[in-house]
Structure formats: structure tokens, C-alpha cells
Amino acid sequence: MDNPLHFADGELPEDYLKYTHRKVLWILGGILALFFMLILSISVGAVQIPPYEVFMTLIGQNLTDKWDRIIWNIRLPQALAAIICGAGLAVAGVAMQSILRNPLASPFTLGISNAGAFGAAVAIIFLGTGRMTSTTAGAVIINNPYVTTICAFIFCMLATVAIIAIAKIKASSPEVVILAGVALSSLFTAGVMFLQYFSDDAQLAAVVHWTFGDVGRAGWPEVYLMGAIVIVACIYFIANRWNYNAMDAGDETAKGLGVNVEQLRNVGMIVAALVTAVLVSFLGVIGFVGLVCPHMVRRIIGDEQRYLIPGSIVMGALLLLVSDTVARLIVAPYVLPVAILTAFMGAPVFIYLLLRGYHR
């Protein structure tokens, strides 16, 4: 580099390619780790299944009927739900941070999760979809999960529509959108508190229980539905990675590069909100992943969206899968909802990354 004659005009920039290859290696390493974690996650639990047998079962061999049932009916859907949910929240988070030009933005900044919690509370209290059956462990059940889910989803979408309308009126101004999101968030939180104040013990327990996000709630139909939506969202954001790079360079630069910034903001917000709404209404509130995973990846491979978006997807999936696995083991035979564990698992890693600074 010191000798300008070393590079004839138009030569390929090898040091830059080396630099980008390193980022690709990080992402590939993450995918590999995710694969091993998936096997491990399915292998551990009340019934231990050796990893090799898990792998053989997954590729279609029938070893024992009992293992088959445990893997295919219980552990695999839960592990996949964790991967899908983590990936979806992280990709929504990285998009919101870029769209709203704010490092604290996350899928929940727009108030969607609180709207979902409010919807679930309405269903449980007014439609009687949740109650307490006994006083032993795991007593609180949502006895009509579909109505609760649909109700949560309706309120998530109401919040989404409100945000989109505000964004339209104020021409996608990031500050207005983020402030409106905070306002909506508080509004729905107040709504939940209001409902809780007038509910009986059983309803209260059911409402609180619902808000503890838990990937164990998902069965195969939910996994398929969430998976389809999250995959579409990931493809959308990855396809727009150059436009997000342009937007990060400033709205004017982006417009000068031919990017329709307003449209990119609005569509991105709708996609991120939809993903969040679906995940929240099926699984409950799972915080932290959407906010922090993108920042973990930023510290490791930087802000370039070409690598940041896929990196965040992998990191989100990995964090939630690890958290869920630990949540199933830590107080066995009881199983904690993953929402409690995500911050326990993620925060120390994140603080370490903050202190260490950027990776070079």
C-alpha cells in the first residue's frame, strides 16, 4: 500500500477482500455453531438423547419410537421456534435501528409487544381464555390459546397501523416515529395495568404468565407460520442491504444514490412490525434479542449491512437457542420461559463486547 506503483489501476483490492472474507468467516462460524447448538439443544433434557442419535433421527432414521416422539413432537419444534424467533427479532431490530437512525431502536420500540400484551390481557380477562387450574407447578394455563393469540395479534396490528399512519402523516421522520412508539408503548402498558388492577388472582396470574415469552408454546403449525414470515422478512432485508447501507450514510446521500428513502422506511417498518407482531402473539414478550444482537454483531463485524444483517440473524437465532436450552435445564425439572433467560445470557456477553470495543 505504501508504494502506489504496486497497484496498477483497476487491480483487485486484495487486502479489502481479505477483510470482507474475515467477516464471511465469522458468519459461517456462527451458522456452524448454530447447527451444533441445535443438536445439543435437542439432545439434553429430562430424557438424555446422545447427540449422534439426535443427528441420525433428524436425517430420518427411526431409532426408538420414544426418542422419535420426543424429538419430532417436542424438542425439535421448540428449538426451531427459538431459532426462528431469535432470527426474526434480530433482523427486525437491525432494520429498526437503521430505519429510525437510533441505536436504541428495537422491534419493541414501536410499542408492538406492549400492544400484544394488552390484547392478550383483554382476551384473558374479558373473553375468559385463561385461568388457574390448581396450585401446583405449571398451574397457570391459557385454556384457549388461539383466541388469546388472535386477540394479541389484533392489538399488535392496531399498534402497527397507528405507527404507520403517524409515519405517513409526518413523512417518515425517524424522531416522530420513535417518540410515537414510546407513547403507544406507555399507553398499552397503562392499559395492561388497568386491566390487571381489576382482575382476579387467576386472571392476573394468566396475564403475567402470558407476557413471559416462551418458545415452548409453539407447535408445528406455529413453527411453519412463523418460519415462513421470518424467512420472507430476512430475504426482504438482505435484498435491501445496499439500500440500508445508503440510508445509513444519510438520507441525502441515499437519495443521491437513487434510493427511495421514504418508501424504504415505510416498507421496512411494516415488515419489521409484522414479524414482531406474529412472534409476540404466538410466543409472548421476548425482549433483549432484537435490541442487543445487532449491537453484538456490530462490535464483531462492523456496521456494513451486507454482513450486519445476516450476522444479526445468526446471532439472534444462536442467542435464543442457547438461552432456551439453558432455561430448560437450569432449574430442572421446572422449565423457565426463555424470556427470563435471554437477558441473563446476553447481558454479560454484551457488556463484555462493549468494554472490549470494536473488533479490528
Partner 1 sequence: MILNVDELKFMYRNKGILDEIAFSINEGEIVAILGPNGVGKTTLLKCLNRILVPKQGAVSVCGDMIDSLELMEIARRIGYVPQRVETGRLTGFDAVLLGRRPHIGWNVSEKDLRIVEAAFRTFGIERLRLHYIDEMSGGELQMVAIARAFVQEPKILLLDEPTSALDLKNQIEILHRITHIVTEHNIAVVMTMHDLNTALRYADRFILLKDQSIHTCGDKNVITADEIEAVYGVPVMIGELEGVPCVIPRCLCNGNGNGKKTKIPQDEEGSTYVRNS
Residues near partner 1, by CB under 8 A: 1, 4, 7, 9-13, 15-17, 19, 101, 239, 242-243, 245-246, 248-250, 252-253, 255-260, 298, 302-304, 358
Element (H, E) at 24: helix 14-43
Q: How far apart are the first and last CA of the chain?
A: 18
Nearer to partner 1, 217 or 241 (CB): 241
Nearer to partner 1, 38 or 254 (CB): 254
Nearer to partner 1, 146 or 242 (CB): 242
The pair phi, psi for residue 199, each rounded to 5°, is -100, 160
Q: Is 140 helix (H, G, I), strand (E, B) or coil?
A: strand
Query: Residue 235: beta bridge partners?
Result: none
Least CB distance from residue 292 to partner 1, whole Å? 16
Question: Which are the contacts of 175, defined by CB distance < 8 A and separation ≥ 6?
Answer: none
Nearer to partner 1, 187 or 303 (CB): 303
Least CB distance from residue 136 to partner 1, whole Å? 51
Least CB distance from residue 310 to partner 1, whole Å? 13
Q: How many residues does the chain have?
A: 360
Least CB distance from residue 175 to partner 1, whole Å? 15
Q: d(Cα 112, Cα 142) in Å, to the nearest integer?
A: 21
- Sign of the C-alpha dihedral, residues 273, 276, 282, 285? negative
Least CB distance from residue 336 to partner 1, whole Å? 35
Nearer to partner 1, 113 or 245 (CB): 245
CB 162 within 8 A of CB 269: no
